[in-house]
Amino acid sequence: MKILKIDTNKKRYMDLLLLADEQENMIDAYLERGTLYALETDSKIDETIAVCVVTDESDGVLEIKNIAVKPSDQRMGYGKALIDFIVDEYKNTYRVLQVGTGDVPEATAFYEKCGFKKSHKIENFFTDNYNLPMYESGIQLIDMIYFTLNL
């Protein structure tokens, strides 16, 4: 497995990015100012199976804005591997890693398994900021739940 930092032509990963954030203009708002990482496995040479975008939110806070794994490769540890990489990469330059997600059991359980703790929520985030209703695991996303991890 290798994780590559992508500096140019970030939009070529849009299909993967859209798995985690369904509205392209929302991705555009953070993609260029963020740092994009792409994960490839040894068995699928030159095929990116997961991506992660992180942004500097100032005051020592780094935020995961997007993390996505191809559906056929989910639940195999690649998402956690990306988070572990981010933690290791930034632990000496940031004090907190945060992530916002929909309030659905699968997402919250994943971040808790990765060591994150619930921090706060932004009510009506998804209904106020997205053109169409968004669903995950059959649940409409309304509030964004934030998690934090001390680095």
Q: What is the pLDDT of residues 49-62, one digit of tens each?
A: 999 999 999 999 99
Q: Which domain holds residue 142?
A: 2-150
User: Domain with 51 in it: what CATH number?
Assistant: 3.40.630.30
pTM: 0.92
Structure tokens of 60?
Answer: 């020592």
Total domains in the fold of the chain: 1
Per-residue pLDDT of the chain (151 residues; tens, 9 = 90+): 899 999 999 999 999 999 999 999 999 999 999 999 999 987 766 689 999 999 999 999 999 999 999 999 999 999 999 999 999 999 999 999 999 999 999 999 999 999 999 999 999 999 999 999 999 888 999 999 999 999 9
Q: Tell me the C-alpha distance between 133 and 8, whole Å.
A: 31
Give, in order, the Cα–Cα distances in Å from 141 to each of 97, 121, 129, 135. Answer: 22, 12, 11, 6
